[in-house]
Amino acid sequence: MEKLVKKPFSLVLAYPRPDEAVLRDRIRQLKELGISHVEFCGRKSIGKLNVLGKGHVGVVLAAKTESGLKVALKIRRVDADRENLGHEAEMLKLANSVGVGPKLLAHTGDVIVMEFIEGQHLPEWLSTGPDKDHVVEVLRELFEKCWKLDQIGLDHGELSRAHSHVLVEPRGPSAFEPRLVDFESASTRRRPSNFTSICQYVFIGGLSGLVARIMSLPDREDLIRALRAYKAQMGREELDRVLEACGLIKHI
């Protein structure tokens, strides 16, 4: 762990401006959280080091705890637009209460420790040409999870451009689970629009071309009509009407 205060590792721990005092404090926080070592892997990079993710608020790394559990760490950027990650941790905890998001394991002001999710981003997974039945199952479960967030008044905030916010995790040889990640923009202070945002993204917006290669797209006007009805009530019946319009459930 002490090697993290040295280059090139220090840049990842206190991105983008490493400072001796900040580095030492973050090493302390990692030790308090039971982190034994960090793994530099992933498709993003900072300098010559690979990381799982890099955003406006933090850097996401793989790590292991003292017990050997592989976890994901979100470490706050020193130039982030917030003083700590407390709000994001609370939003993730709330999402966890309805079975959504990576499980929150622990957190400090600058570090969130959460479940490590092994999977492909939704567009990447769709590009592999999965079976239609698998796509239907994944999309139906994804929409159900977004509805659950709507029901508790938690808005993810970034699902209208969800290319990097949904991972598809293998659950055995022929099963997959969609996982919503990255709750840094989540809020309970605005009207939730998780389900309408993700549905439009998948069937009307940026993902519709990939989806159309695998299954028929719903009639645009029928879908918009069903989404308007859902937006007014957000009930189970309205949800099922949208799922039916999308071909994700049979006639109800």
| pLDDT tens, position by position, 17-71 | 999 999 999 999 999 999 999 999 999 999 999 999 999 999 999 999 999 999 9
Label residue 2 by pLDDT band (50, 70, 90). Answer: confident
Q: Which of 43, 34, 33, 35 is nearest to 4 (CA)?
A: 35
| pLDDT tens, position by position, 225-249 | 999 999 999 999 999 999 999 999 9
Q: Which amino acid is at 174?
A: S
The single-letter DSSP state of residue 187 is B
Task: Please give the model's pTM, rounded to 2 decimal places.
Answer: 0.95
Element (H, E) at 160: none
Query: How far is the CA of 185 from the CAs of 120, 181, 189, 190, in angstroms?
Result: 21, 11, 11, 11
> Domain extents for the chain?
2-115, 120-245
Query: How far is the CA of 52 from the CAs of 72, 81, 243, in angstroms?
Result: 8, 21, 32
The pLDDT, as a whole number, for residue 120 is 97
What average pLDDT does this structure show over 70-93? 98
Equal CATH topology for 2-115 and 120-245: no
| pLDDT tens, position by position, 94-148 | 999 999 999 999 999 999 999 999 999 999 999 999 999 999 999 999 999 999 9
Class of domain 120-245: mainly alpha
Per-residue b or e along 87-110, where b marks 16 or more CB atoms closer than 10 Å to that residue's CB: ebbebbebbbeeebbbebbebbeb
Question: In this structure, which CATH number among 3.30.200.20, 3.40.50.720, 3.10.180.10, 3.30.70.2860 belongs to the domain 2-115?
Answer: 3.30.200.20
The single-letter DSSP state of residue 218 is P
**Residue 154 CB-density burial (10 A; 0-12 exposed, 13-18 middle, 19+ buried):** buried
